[in-house]
């Protein structure tokens, strides 16, 4: 997902490492190195966790999924390359909840439906709630102020591009 969103912004990103604990538990640690049009390079070292809760769960009455991500402060195995890369920290949470199609149990003013008739039997609406905090560390090397502002602009657009990618994937499957 990160690489697709970066490409949509015209940047190039590479995952340097990836760890997954298995099918039952989704937890990963990855470093994402991105090169921007200006030539600036950023890196993020993130740990992600995800959990899918079935129909009967203690947290929510219907199926829901939670994804959280947080930046790694220090990593002895893969230390930040602060001499050549701009460090960016990301803390994010995404909650996906399922609701009967056309249900009024959630309040969203601008809901975009993927189907022509959301009242069709068997269809569900999936509501995505997300929050993202991004911190761009001042680099230890010289970088033109305009390049730093461009980096900030591109990084802050990334969550919206990610959501567009999710919508496109869902629409393609309908």
Using the predicted structure, report yes or no on whether residue 156 has a pLDDT greater than 70. Answer: yes
Number of domains in the chain: 1
Q: Give the model confidence (pLDDT) of 8-37 as tens digits.
A: 555 555 655 556 565 656 888 888 888 888
User: Quick count: other Cβ atoms within 10 Å of Cβ 24?
Assistant: 5
Using the predicted structure, report yes or no on whether residue 55 has a pLDDT greater than 80. Answer: no
* 93 — pLDDT class (breaks 50, 70, 90): very high
Interatomic CA distance for residues 5 and 92, integer angstroms: 16
Interatomic CA distance for residues 116 and 112, integer angstroms: 11
The percentage of the chain sitting over the pLDDT mark of 70, rounded to a whole number, equals 68
Q: Give the model confidence (pLDDT) of 101-145 as tens digits.
A: 776 665 555 555 544 454 556 677 778 888 989 898 989 999 998
Q: Which residue's entry shows tokens 């995800």?
A: 50
Q: Which domain holds residue 168?
A: 2-173
Taking residues 53-75, report their average pLDDT: 80
Which has the closest alpha carbon to 68: 91, 86, 85? 91
Query: Quick one: DSSP state of residue 45?
Result: E
Predicted local distance difference test score (pLDDT) of residue 58: 62
């Amino acid at each position: 997902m990160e690489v697709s969103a970066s490409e949509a912004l015209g940047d190039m990103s590479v995952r340097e490492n990836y760890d997954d604990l298995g099918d039952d538990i989704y937890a990963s640690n990855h470093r994402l190195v991105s090169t921007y049009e200006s030539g600036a390079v950023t890196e993020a070292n993130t740990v992600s966790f995800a959990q899918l809760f079935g129909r009967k769960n203690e947290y929510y009455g219907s199926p829901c999924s939670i994804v959280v991500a947080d930046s790694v402060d220090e990593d002895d195995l893969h230390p930040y390359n602060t001499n050549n890369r701009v460090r960016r920290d990301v803390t994010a949470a995404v909650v996906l909840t399922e609701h009967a199609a056309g249900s009024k149990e959630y309040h969203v003013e601008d809901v975009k439906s993927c189907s022509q008739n959301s009242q069709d039997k068997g269809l569900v609406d999936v509501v995505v709630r997300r929050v993202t905090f991004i911190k761009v560390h001042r680099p230890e090397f010289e970088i033109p102020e305009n390049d730093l502002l461009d980096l900030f602009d591109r990084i802050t657009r990334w969550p919206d591009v990610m959501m567009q990618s999710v919508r496109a994937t869902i629409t393609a499957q309908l």
